Amino acid sequence: MNLTDNRTSVVQAVDSGLLSGAVTLAWHRGSVVQVNEIGYRDVEAGLPMQRDTIFRVASMTKPVTVAAAMALVDEGKLGLSDPVTRWLPELADMQVLIDPTGPLDRTVPAQRPITIDDLMTHRSGLAYVFSVLGPISKAYARVSLRQDQDHWLAEIAQLPLVHQPGERLTYSHATDVLGIALSRIEGKSLHTVLTERVFEPLGMADTGFFISPDKRSRSATMYRLDEETGLQHDAMSPIPVTEPRFCQGGAGLVTTVDDYLRFARMLLGDGDIDGTRVLSQSSVQLMRTDRLTVEQKQHPFLGLPFWTGRGFGLNLSVVTDPAKSAQLYGPGGLGTFSWPGAYGTWWQADPANDLILIYLIQNYPSLSAPAAAVAGNTSLAKLQSVQPKFVRRTYQALQI
C-alpha cells in the first residue's frame, strides 16, 4: 500500500497558488494509515498546516447537531414526529408561498406543523439566501446572524415557507432552528448541549463554537481565490474566543482532523467508539438511512443532480447505488455517508470498506456558485478536481 500519490493534486494546487494548504486523513480498518500536512495555515506568517490545525467546518456542523438531538431522542426527550412548536412557538401558524419565487404576501396556510424530522432532512420549507430565488431570498438576506437566537428565530418565523412542510427538500437554516430547540429543551446554550452530548463523550477537545485564546495561533486563516488576483487573505473575522450570542447549529463549529475523525468513527461504529456509547444503534441507523421519496429526488439540489445514486438521511447523504454515485461524486461503497462544508471541508465514512477520509481546507466560497461549495469543493473550476482526485487515488492505493 502506497498512499503517497493521493497528495499530488493537493500539493500541485498549493504550489500553483490556488490553495494555502490542507490537512487530509485516511483511516482504514481501525487505524489511521495516513495524515497529510500540506502548505500553510497562514501563508503570510509562514505557519505550516499541522495535524492539530483548527478549521471552520461550516455545514459539517449539521450532522453533529443532529447527533446531539438523537441523544435526546434516545432519552425520550423528543421524537422525530414531534411538532417543533412544542418548543418553538414562534413557528406556529406558518404561511407558505403560493409561488416560491413570487411576492411574499401571496401565501396559503401551512397544512401541518413543522416536525423535528422536517428540520433534520431540510423538508421544513425554510431556506437559505442562496438556495432560493426572488423576494424570499432578499428577505433571508436581511435577517442578521449577529443577534441572539431568540431574536433571530422571531425574524425567521415572520418569513413564509417556500413549500409545505414535508413536501420536498430545500437546503436551509433548519439545523440552526434545530439547535435552538435543543437549547430550549435542555435549558442551556447549544455549545453546552453539544459539549455534554458529543464533544466530551468523544474526547473532541478542540471542537466548539469558539476557541480559547491560546489556540488561536493554531487556527487556519480563511483565504479566497480570486480569478484575477489569486489567493487573497479573506476579511472574515477571527474565530471567536468567547461563546457567541448565537451558536449556529448548522454552520458554526470549528474542529481538527482528529476530533472530527472521532465523530465519524462513532457514526461508523453504530454509536459506539472504543467502548464508549454515545448514541443508540437505532439512532445512528436512522441518521444513515435514506428518507427521501423517489419524487423528492427528482428535484435538483442547488442546481446539482445530487441524488443520483444517493439519498439523504438525517443530515447525511447516503450512497444507495455505488456505481451511479461514483460517476458524479467519486468512489464510496453502499451506505457511504457524508456531509461537507462550504469552506471546502469534506469527509466520508464508508462502512462497506471500513474507511474514513477527511479533507480540510479553508477557502471562502463564492455564493454565486453555492452548489459547488456544498458539494465540498470551492466554487472555482480550477480547484474542483483537487479533492475528488485525493479520494479516487486513496481508494486506488487501498485497492478498494
DSSP state of 327: H
Least confident of 24-38, 221-235, 276-290: 221-235
pLDDT at residue 71 tops 70: yes
Closest CA to 268 of 286, 252, 284: 284
Average pLDDT value for residue range 111-134: 97
- Contact partners, residue 176, CB within 8 Å, separation at least 6: 152, 248, 249, 250, 251
| CATH number of the domain bearing residue 135 | 1.20.58
Selected residue with higher pLDDT from 380 and 168: 168
Same domain, 54 and 203: yes
Same domain, 171 and 198: no
- Stated as kind and residue range, the H or E segment containing 40 is strand 31-42
The whole-angstrom separation of Cα 137 and Cα 367 is 13
What pLDDT does 374 receive? Answer: 54
Structural domain of residue 143, as residue ranges? Answer: 72-186
DSSP state of 287: H
Closest CA to 341 of 323, 308, 305, 317: 317
Question: What pLDDT band is residue 367 in, cutting at 50, 70 and 90?
Answer: low
Same domain, 150 and 227: no
- Does residue 247 lie within any of the structural domains? yes
Using the 3D structure, point to which of 155, 186, 217 is the last residue of a domain.
186
CA distances 374 to 52, 339, 370, Å, are: 24, 8, 6
The H-assigned helical ranges of 44-145 are 61-74, 116-121, 135-141
Average pLDDT value for residue range 277-303: 96
The whole-angstrom separation of Cα 47 and Cα 121 is 39
Question: What pLDDT band is residue 368 in, cutting at 50, 70 and 90?
Answer: low
Using the 3D structure, point to which of 161, 186, 211 is the last residue of a domain.
186
What pLDDT does 304 receive? Answer: 86
- Does residue 67 lie within any of the structural domains? no
The whole-angstrom separation of Cα 254 and Cα 202 is 15
Same domain, 205 and 160: no
